Amino acid sequence: MSSLKLTSVNKIFPSGVPALTDINFEMDDHEFIVVVGQEKSGKSTLVRTICGLEDSSSGTIEMDGKDITGSEPKTRDMAVVFRGDSLFPGDTIFDNLGYGLKVRKAPQTLIEEKVKVVSQVLGITDLLYKKPKNLTAAEKLKVSMGRALVREPRIYLFDEPLNGLDSKLRADMLNLIINLQVRTKGSFIYATRNLQDALAIGTRLVVMREGFIQQIDTPANLYDYPANTYVAFYIGEPTMNLIFGAQLVSTEDGGVAVKGDFGSIPVSAKTKARIENLKDYLDKGRKVVLGIRPEDTQIVEEGGYFSGKVSENNYAGNAIYTEINAGRSVLLVKFKEVGTDWNGDITDGTPVKDHDVQVKADTDHLYLFDGETRLTILAKDEGYQKTSHKDADRMPKSYLEEREILKELAPKKKKKK
């Protein structure tokens, strides 16, 4: 298999629209990296640029230390599985599976041997002499993966291959992909907008937004140590509560609290010790963004840190969450855990709409970000599981820097005469 390194890779479409900006990351041999992001985040463009279907505008792409930036796709020894049906409709499944070897002028006996082995592994032996039009969506996807496996490439790339499949098929195919990676000991890059898929299969995640890498790290580190507000909000379900316009203030007992229009919440000694450059924020009126995960909150009868008015109740995961309005902020707060015998009724006994409730939070698990840059102001502590990858130490550009770069790169409108 193979390692990969991208250095300062940029991609600007012929229209002038920037698609990738300053992309830097490395993938080790046998690693499973997931590129995750919302629509138009650049993840598909990144996959296509790595395999050579898109030319980078600048920067370098190396595989096993060799510069492959300008090389043709067929010389990169990579295989891509795209979303949807990419099979040749007029060919049998056997011919589709063996196509990659055939164009490389492999002997027919080798093609037959490889197709036989891969079809057995994927459980599609009975499909070999059918045409793609006679296959189900799941069977077509298996054939697409088989076509990649037959070639035994150095790197496998997947571009949202499970889009459109129902939840059961999606789970089955995801398990198949995981097993294939284990079986082949391959180097896999998998692009998806589905966060659950990403968290389930990736050893490391590359989080993208609008062509910028936001953070690269393990799923656990991304959840506990997000580099900015975007990663904090994106990684986790339900999503993190973000309260903008807050400030850090001193308390009478010598501690620190986060104050905003929602009220005030104390900062624990553990969290306080992690605040970098505290003196630049404390009692200076400098804005911060407070992040609180819903699972780290609790509705209490008394002794809450702040209060809010009930808007509605929701069920997520294994708990009931109450949406409350606190000042100008709308927060999701845990009401209670639910057991296996729960019947799905979230009206009986739940907080009543428009009533006030008190909220308490785990102050050891508060998240704090600079109000302008939206970058974290919390240092990593002993809970951070450091890896050998330097990518994790790379801080993303600030929100303002990203806006300025996109503004500068945006196609200029022609002035009317």
Q: What is the pLDDT of residue 341?
A: 65
- Helix, strand, coil percentages (3-state) for the chain, rounded to 5, are 30, 30, 40
Q: Which pTM was predicted?
A: 0.91
Both structure tokens of 301: 């009868």
Asked whether the predicted pLDDT for residue 38 surpasses 90, the reply is yes
Residue 348 pLDDT class (50, 70, 90 cuts): low
Three-state DSSP class for 322? strand
- Whether the per-residue pLDDT at 383 is higher than 80: the answer is yes
- Model confidence at 350: pLDDT above 90: no
Whole-number percent of the chain with pLDDT over 70: 96
Strand locations in 344-395, DSSP E?
A: 356-361, 366-370
d(CA 210, CA 147): 31
pLDDT at 138: 87
Residues 166-218 pLDDT 10s: 888 888 888 888 888 888 888 999 999 999 999 989 999 999 999 999 999 99
Q: How confident is the model at residue 340 (pLDDT cuts 50, 70, 90)?
A: low
How much is the mean pLDDT over the chain? Answer: 92
pLDDT in tens, 244-284: 999 999 999 999 999 999 999 999 999 999 999 999 999 99
Least confident of 41-55, 82-96, 245-259, 269-283: 82-96
Backbone angles phi, psi at 330, to 5 degrees: -110, 120
**pLDDT value for 299:** 94
14-29 pLDDT, tens digit per residue, is 888 899 999 999 999 9
Residue 415's pLDDT is 61
Give pLDDT, residue 6.
97
DSSP labels for 19-52?
EEEEEEEEE-TT-EEEEEESTTSSHHHHHHHHHT
Taking residues 136-163, report their average pLDDT: 90
pLDDT at 347: 67
How large is the angle between the packed helices 137-151 and 108-122, nearest 10 degrees?
130
Residue 85 has what pLDDT?
Answer: 64
State yes or no: pLDDT of 108 exceeds 90: yes
**pLDDT above 70 for 1:** no
